[in-house]
Amino acid sequence: MRGQRHAPAALYPGKDLVPIVQEAGWAPGLVWTGSENLVLTGIRSRTVKPVAQSLYRLSYPAHSISVVLAKYLFFSTVAGLYIGVRGFMSLVRGFMSLVRGFMSLVRGFMSLVRGFMSLVRGFMSLVRGFMSLVRGFMSLVRGFMSLVRGFMSRPGNGTP
């Protein structure tokens, strides 16, 4: 029976298919299952099939298509939301990667600034060392000048 399509049980004679038809919702009330009453009414068999087919189409509840559509829309919406949430999470992960990259850039810049400040401090120490050297040299020159003045101020050194 797998893969075969059947018309609803309301079109086939037999009383054992009626509960299935009613359970499926194709016929909420009584289901006609035989053709014994057709002879009494005078309906010819040529009209039975078109009438039965139109009854078959009408036997589905009107809301079943809207239920199927609602289920489709619901699951489409859920699937869309799932895809949207996954996209949003990817966006958040991308943004977090961007923030981490920016923070690495800031840390690198701060290291550069610290390095530059160390360089400036080193240069300032060099300048202070050079200034100390100059002061030392100036002290040496002053000492030498004092020595020369002292030597020149002695009697008999040719100073008047």
Q: How far from chain centre, in Å, is Cα 159?
A: 98
- Does residue 138 form part of some domain? no
Taking all residues of the chain, what is their mean pLDDT, rounded to a whole number?
75
- Does residue 159 form part of some domain? no
Query: Within this chain, do residues 42 and 74 fall inside the same structural domain, yes or no?
Result: no
Whose tokens are 């800031």? That residue is 106
Query: Within this chain, do residues 27 and 41 fall inside the same structural domain, yes or no?
Result: yes
- Does residue 154 form part of some domain? no
* Closest by CA position to 14, among listed 28, 35, 29, 30: 35
Residue 157: Cβ-neighbour burial (10 angstroms; 0-12, 13-18, 19+): exposed
CA–CA separation, 62 vs 9, rounded Å?
A: 19
- Does residue 136 form part of some domain? no
Number of folded domains that form the chain: 2
Say what the pTM is. Answer: 0.39
Q: Is 14 left (phi over 0), alpha (psi -120 to 50) or beta?
A: left
Q: How far from chain centre, in Å, is Cα 45?
A: 64
CA–CA separation, 159 vs 145, rounded Å?
A: 16
Over residues 45-54, the pLDDT tens digits come to 554 455 555 5
Q: Give the amino acid at 77.
A: T
Over residues 105-116, the pLDDT tens digits come to 999 999 999 999
Domain hosting 17: range is 9-61
Query: Within this chain, do residues 66 and 127 fall inside the same structural domain, yes or no?
Result: yes
CA–CA separation, 13 vs 24, rounded Å?
A: 18
Q: In this structure, is the dihedral angle defined by the CA atoms of residues 52, 54, 55 and 57, taken in order, positive or negative?
A: positive
Where does the pLDDT of residue 136 fall: very low under 50, low under 70, confident under 90, or very high at 90 and above? very high
